[in-house]
Structure 1
Amino acid sequence: MNEKVALVTGASRGIGLAISKVLLELGYIVYGICRYPNQSEFQNQNFHFIECDLSNPKQIQKLIDSFPNRDRLHVIVNNAGFAQFGPIEELSPEKMIEMVQVNLTAPILITNGFTRYLKQNEGHIFFIGSVSGNLVSPWGNVYGSLKAGLHHFSRSLFDELRKYLVKVHLLVPDITKTNFYEDLNIEPDSDTSSYLLPEQIATVVKQILLDESGMLVHETHISPQLFKIKRKKFLK
């Protein structure tokens, strides 16, 4: 009954699932937050899905109020996110609002709701940012702006919480081969040197959690050796 607890958003697949597996390997009880838990086939006795629509602040508050074993919460991984790219006038207002809620509002609300427990446990907060948050990206300006906001929130939170021995980490991955690109018109190149794998991002999380040197690297940029990306070919 003394196991440490971790919360991971977007845990049903991709980077979130890879990080969840690493946390399980390290002995954590992991609660994976996602909208459609039945879409994942992964099972482990210490891995528990919690269904939550992170675009809905009322559901986030319900998650915070009912979260199990919160007194043992040591790690939060704010990973969930999605993007729509295109000319600004062609983006759906509804999808833009959903992007704001999932990519920026949800991590802020979750951090607000659980930080007191991380202070008690001298825990870790991870934010999965994006290289898009550091670039000027035509057609990706909404997503990039939201990731830039997440980066700034993480940097400010680092200075706020370090005196309480809460460790705040911002991971900024470049092109990573996940289903993130399913609904986009671009995708990683076939060259394996041009993209990251979710397991590589998870390895960075593992290294951070195992480090007992007292040194804290707040911001970590993770890139493949090469930069290549390709546009999808759509059949008419």
Structure 2
Amino acid sequence: MTEPKIALVTGASRGIGLSISQMLVGIGYTVYGLSRNPQNCKFTHELFHLMACDLSNSKEIDQFIISFPEIKNISLLIHNAGLAYFAPVEELSSEKIREMVSLHITAPMLLTSAFTRSLKQNNGRIVFIGSVSGKEISPWGNVYASLKAGIHHYARELFAELRKFGVKVHLIIPDITKTDFYNHLNFEPDEDPKSYLLPDQIASVIKDLVLNDQGWVVPEIQISPELFKLKRKKQN
């Protein structure tokens, strides 16, 4: 009997996380997804189990870890959840800073720590969805970009540590991707389809990594659209 393929995807109800979840279901994974607002997701499938968890709240993370039914069988952990507030540093409230730190740094570290023993036993894999902002100077992205740079380094540290135990770690660094990430920002991707990525394209890269297991590992991939174009939103 074939062992079940169990994946956990954070931020799974929309955007890149939803596309990754749909892709994994398509190749036979049972996907457990975490989302702050799972009721907003319209996608349903017998292999897709979306659960409510506010990943900016460490107590909710602890409770999820305790209650997660497949902790011993998990073989794929995908850290995707994220949000950004862009503003001059003195205009970022303490609440927004704490929320971003908790979501981008604390949550993936807590989940990774909780699941690594099982991932070692199952020759598993961890995928981090980073951001090109973590590699560049980002106007008004002082906190967000710094946190992404931090989680990039955490992924690289884990790659070096866990490869000794058969756990593969990948850092995926997307450039501008057309999602509702930009809904509350004052800029967005240009209309030119060559100037942005689509969530399904990110999912396709992960599919190749998961399926093409040939004894070597690609630890880091940056994906960029052909053109660089952004536009400022019109002020009402």
Give me the TM-score of the superposition, normalised by structure 1: 0.98
Cα shift at 1:70: 1.7
Q: Which residue number corresponds to residue 134 of structure 1?
A: 135
Q: Deviations over 1:133-179 (max 9, x none)?
A: 00112300100000000000000000000010000000000000000
d(CA) in 1 for partners of 2:136 and 2:110? 25
Cα shift at 1:90: 0.6
Q: Deviations over 1:88-146 (max 9, x none)?
A: 00111101100000011101111011110000001010000000000112300100000
Q: Which residue number corresponds to residue 193 of structure 1?
A: 194
Identity, in percent, stands at 58
Q: Deviations over 1:178-219 (max 9, x none)?
A: 000000000000000000000000000000001121111100
How much is the aligned-residue C-alpha RMSD, in angstroms? 0.8
Letter aligned with residue 147 of structure 1? K
d(CA) in 2 for partners of 1:107 and 1:137? 23
Pairing 1:1-236 to 2, within 5 Å after superposition: 2-235=3-236
Say which SS state the counterpart of residue 72 (structure 2) adopts: helix
Letter aligned with residue 10 of structure 2? T
Aligned residues: 235
Letter aligned with residue 18 of structure 1? S
Letter aligned with residue 218 of structure 2? V
Letter aligned with residue 234 of structure 2? K
Cα shift at 1:36: 0.6
Cα shift at 1:72: 1.4
In structure 2, list runs of 5 or more residues that go unmatched. Answer: none
d(CA) in 1 for partners of 2:230 and 2:168? 34
In structure 1, list runs of 5 or more residues that go unmatched. Answer: none
Say which SS state the counterpart of residue 70 (structure 1) adopts: coil
Say which SS state the counterpart of residue 31 (structure 1) adopts: strand
d(CA) in 1 for partners of 2:62 and 2:70? 16
d(CA) in 2 for partners of 1:14 and 1:88? 27
Cα shift at 1:2: 3.2
d(CA) in 1 for partners of 2:184 and 2:148? 19
Letter aligned with residue 129 of structure 1? G
d(CA) in 2 for partners of 1:104 and 1:74? 21
Give me the TM-score of the superposition, normalised by structure 2: 0.98
d(CA) in 1 for partners of 2:132 and 2:154? 16
